């Protein structure tokens, strides 16, 4: 894979540096886990560096969690309750060119909420949030800055009809999915650029069976049955290009995408027991990786750009070398979690924080901790209930001229 390094996030660049208590001009390392229960309306915050519980926030329903690019906010999307809650992570970075300052405060549940029928896909890029509602005919767009200030400054973009789709925010535009005109309950058929004033821009881009989206560097991708739609910006206007699947690939398509950090690539599902690596800059863009059993969940490493991780139903976590396109290490963590049954049954989910990988084990009420270097289990964190969805926020930065102890708010 072409090693085209991106401008990595501040946390990715600095997270490998060891932290210590903050005094004048000290470097602080802070990482937090946000964990949603599978059945209960609760989100637990855990200090990823010492495994201590920091806070528990009640919400209206079981939540899917999504973090912003900055890590300043975590959105708890409660599809069954028709609500999206917002948590301030308490970790904020301020870029000063040659270094970044960090503010570390207690996490808090914000009063601002988004409401609508069946909240679904969440996309955030460059400080703008697009929250989709499957049961509404518009998507809601707002800024992270306004959210943190408690301002409900929402722009609603019409999406023709309620459907299971996605909106991608840009400066003065959005890319939105186009519902199937014959049956909006079926997957969307394409993507459209619209201005935030509601006016259509340019021609629609066909994308049969649209499902799955992710960003990597300056490209945002939507997955289709025929390949990927790659969205970039020309001046400030989104431009859409179709990347067809290679003829050498077996029959199939991807419906879940994740974007690489530090290296520009995408990783997606391709059948139940394979994943696909996509390099949008190469002529031969697609590579398949065969897994030993069916996949359960996969993520990219935001700090160590060349690695991704896949959990399979046999209870194993695998390290993927995305440059070589192969499994490089594996470790057994849990009892088997069969992919038979309902798609939303409680199964493990993965997050990466600092030098550790965290894998939820909902049926055992714990989170397994794996060291990224040795790729061995080094501990576990007990969490009441069924810890399910998990995201990590954090990194390292400088604190100037005052003591800022992020451990003060922790509960053992």
Asked which of 18-32, 97-111, 225-239, 313-327 is least confident by mean pLDDT, the reply is: 18-32
Domains of the chain: residue spans and CATH: 10-399 (2.130.10.10)
Are 356 and 370 contacting, i.e. CB atoms less than 8 angstroms apart?
yes
pLDDT band at 206 (very low <50, low <70, confident <90, very high): very high
Q: What is the pLDDT of residues 220-248, one digit of tens each?
A: 999 999 999 999 998 889 999 999 999 99
Taking CA atoms, 46 is separated from 16, 334, 379, in Å, by 19, 21, 14
If DSSP codes are grouped into helix, strand and coil, which group holds residue 348?
Answer: coil
Q: What is the pLDDT of residues 37-91, one digit of tens each?
A: 999 999 999 999 999 999 999 999 999 999 999 999 999 999 999 999 999 999 9
Longest dimension (CA), the chain: 64
Q: What is the pLDDT of residues 340-373, one digit of tens each?
A: 999 899 999 999 999 999 999 999 999 999 999 9
Q: Does the pLDDT of residue 8 top 60, yes or no? A: no
Average pLDDT (96-122) is 90
Query: 241 pairs with which residues across the strands?
Result: 230
d(CA 214, CA 221): 5
Taking alpha carbons only, the member of 142, 141, 140, 133 closest to residue 161 is: 133
Q: What is the pLDDT of residues 136-163, one digit of tens each?
A: 999 999 999 999 999 999 999 999 999 9
Query: 142 pairs with which residues across the strands?
Result: 129
Q: What is the pLDDT of residues 157-194, one digit of tens each?
A: 999 999 999 999 999 999 999 999 999 999 999 999 99
Q: Does the pLDDT of residue 282 top 90, yes or no? A: no
* DSSP assignments along 19-83, one per residue: P----TTEEEEEEEEEEEESSSSEEEEEETTT--EEEEEE-SS--EEEE-SSSSEEEEEETTTTE
Give me the torsion for CA of 324, 212, 145, 261, rounded to 10°: 0
Dihedral sign (CA 53, 55, 57, 63):
negative
Asked which of 202-211, 222-231, 281-290, 373-382 is least confident by mean pLDDT, the reply is: 281-290
Q: What is the pLDDT of residues 67-78, one digit of tens each?
A: 999 999 999 999
Give every CB contact of residue 138 below 8 A, 6+ residues apart in sequence: 156, 157, 158, 159
């Amino acid at each position: 894979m072409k090693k085209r390094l991106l401008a990595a996030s501040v946390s990715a660049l600095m997270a490998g540096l060891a932290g210590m208590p903050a005094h004048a001009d000290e470097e602080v390392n802070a990482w937090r886990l946000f964990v949603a229960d599978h059945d209960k309306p609760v989100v637990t915050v855990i200090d990823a560096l010492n495994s201590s519980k920091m806070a528990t926030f009640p919400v209206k329903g079981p939540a899917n969690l999504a973090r912003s690019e900055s890590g300043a906010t975590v959105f708890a999307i409660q599809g069954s309750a028709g609500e999206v809650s917002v948590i301030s992570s308490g970790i904020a970075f301020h870029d000063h060119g040659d270094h970044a300052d960090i503010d570390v405060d207690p996490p808090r549940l914000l009063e601002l909420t988004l409401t609508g029928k069946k909240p679904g896909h969440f996309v955030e890029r460059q400080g703008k949030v697009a929250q989709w509602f499957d049961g509404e005919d518009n998507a809601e767009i707002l800024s992270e800055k306004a959210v943190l200030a408690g301002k409900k400054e929402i722009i609603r973009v019409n999406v023709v009809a309620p459907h299971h789709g996605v909106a991608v925010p840009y400066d003065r535009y959005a890319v939105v999915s186009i519902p199937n005109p014959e049956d909006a309950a079926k997957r969307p058929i394409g993507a459209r650029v619209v201005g935030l004033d509601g006016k259509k821009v340019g021609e629609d881009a066909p994308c049969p069976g649209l499902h799955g989206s992710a960003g990597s560097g300056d490209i945002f991708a939507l997955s289709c049955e025929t390949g990927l739609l790659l969205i970039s910006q020309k001046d400030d206007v989104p431009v859409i290009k179709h990347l067809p699947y290679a003829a050498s690939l077996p029959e199939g398509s991807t419906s879940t995408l994740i974007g690489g950090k530090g290296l520009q690539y995408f990783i997606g599902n391709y059948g139940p027991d394979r994943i696909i690596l996509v390099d949008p800059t190469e002529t031969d863009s697609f590579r398949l990786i065969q897994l030993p059993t069916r996949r359960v969940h996969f993520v990219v490493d935001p700090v160590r750009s060349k690695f991704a991780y896949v959990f399979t139903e046999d209870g194993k976590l695998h390290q993927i070398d995305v440059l070589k396109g192969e499994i490089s290490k594996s470790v057994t963590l849990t009892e088997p979690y069969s992919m038979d049954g309902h798609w939303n049954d409680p199964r493990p989910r993965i997050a990466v924080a600092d030098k550790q990988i965290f894998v939820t084990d909902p049926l055992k009420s714990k989170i397994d901790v794996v060291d990224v270097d040795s790729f061995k289990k080094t501990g576990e964190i007990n969490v009441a209930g069924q810890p399910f969805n998990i995201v990590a926020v954090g990194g390292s930065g400088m604190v100037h001229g005052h003591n800022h102890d992020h451990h003060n708010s922790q509960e053992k």
